[in-house]
Amino acid sequence: MLAEVPPADHELVYANHERGFALCSMRSTHRSRYYVQVPADEQVDAWSDGRFWDELRSRLPEQTAAAVVTGPSFEKSIAPLRSFVAEPMRFGRLFLVGDAAHIVPPTGAKGLNLAASDVRYLFAGLREFYLDKSPSGLEAYSAKALARVWKAVRFSWWMTTMLHRFPDTGEFGQRIQEAELDYLVHSQAASAALAENYVGLPY
């Protein structure tokens, strides 16, 4: 949900709750985006603004929930947890970038980052083609972009499986999820790996 309200925190807040995942994100100092996990067959019309705010706050830590400023939404939708990668990212003289080439779950926040890296690689290839009359950059575009895409897809699915509750996970899977979260919070090495992937791998 998008609303013209200040964010609950200056950092993104992720929550793994027994009722499902929640995320507090922001677009600016006065516009916020919030997520709550719902069943895949849920209808967005069933979620009034009031129901959404109540559910969000119930899944957040007490301090964060108290900081949530509510208000009317101006965009509300249900985002399916899905991944898609077109391989290759080129069909003849048509080059694919961004969501035309790949879709990742919102949990890892990689969609815009990947689109930007695609454009960077394609721009370099086009520049080489038109200035140097060499097709090598365009010929390498798909392989170079996909090497980065698949790492981001892996990271997004890792974040998704660690933070979302799925009905078929079972007790064993739930304990594995909890152990993964505990390791991430208490291990400097795991935290460093998360930070490296979250801010974006080097080009």
The reported pLDDT for the residue numbered 28 is 93
Strand partners, 17: 20
- Provide CATH code, domain 2-75: 3.30.9.10
Q: Copy the structure tokens of residue 179.
A: 């152990």
| Short-list 75, 71, 73, 99, CA closest to 85 | 99
CA gap 42, 139 in Å, rounded: 43
The Cα 144–Cα 25 span in angstroms is 30
Residue found by looking up tokens 């509750």 in the block: 165
Q: Any idea of the CA torsion for 140, 143, 147, 149, to the nearest 10 degrees?
A: 110
Measure the CA–CA gap between 139 and 122, rounded to whole angstroms.
10
The 10s digit of each residue's pLDDT in 121-149 is 999 999 999 999 999 999 999 999 999 99
Q: Where do the structural domains in the chain lie, given as residue ranges? A: 2-75, 84-199
Q: Does domain 84-199 have CATH number 3.50.50.100?
A: no
pLDDT per residue over 57-113, tens digit each? 999 999 999 999 999 999 999 988 889 999 999 999 999 999 999 999 888 878 888
- Three-state secondary-structure class, residue 40: coil
